[in-house]
Amino acid sequence: MKVFQIGAAGGVGSRLSRLLTESGDEVTGMHRAPEQAEKIAQWGAIPVTGDLIQDTVEDLAGKMTGHDAVVFSAGAHGTGMEKTTLIDGKGLEKAADAASKAGVSSFVLVSAFPESERGKGLGEGFEHYMRVKKTADIYLAQTDLDWLIVRRAC
């Protein structure tokens, strides 16, 4: 299977890239920073530069074309509420729309358990993150894609 992985250099993404390539899948790992390419290649994946904020739906669709599935494990990782909205929220929307445009019907979203750590005084940034993740989950669920949402505790 040819898998297009968004967020391949992250914690979840790096583990998944290794597991997929070890099982014989061909993984194209999208990353933002040039220095991440070598790390992705070491895991057996094909690195491709991309940016969920700057790339258009058409840009992303062009990168996804020819793949069987998309895995979205990207995240803003505490870089602020604006980037959380742009990457975890709007970035997911762009990626889902791009997958449809590219004819890639299978889409896996690594999300967050909706009530994980809620009410523990982690602040408005965390509450914003949880709202954005929930909105992204709903967006994906309303598409025509064959989707799977994997929720993890934060």
Catalytic one of 43, 72, 107, 129: 129
Q: Would you say 13 and 5 are in contact if contact means Cβ atoms under 8 Å apart? A: yes
Active site residue 129: yes
Spell out a b/e string for 117-140, using b for 16 or more CB atoms within 10 Å of the CB, else e: eeeeeeeeebebbbebbebbbebb
Q: Write out the catalytic residue numbers.
A: 129
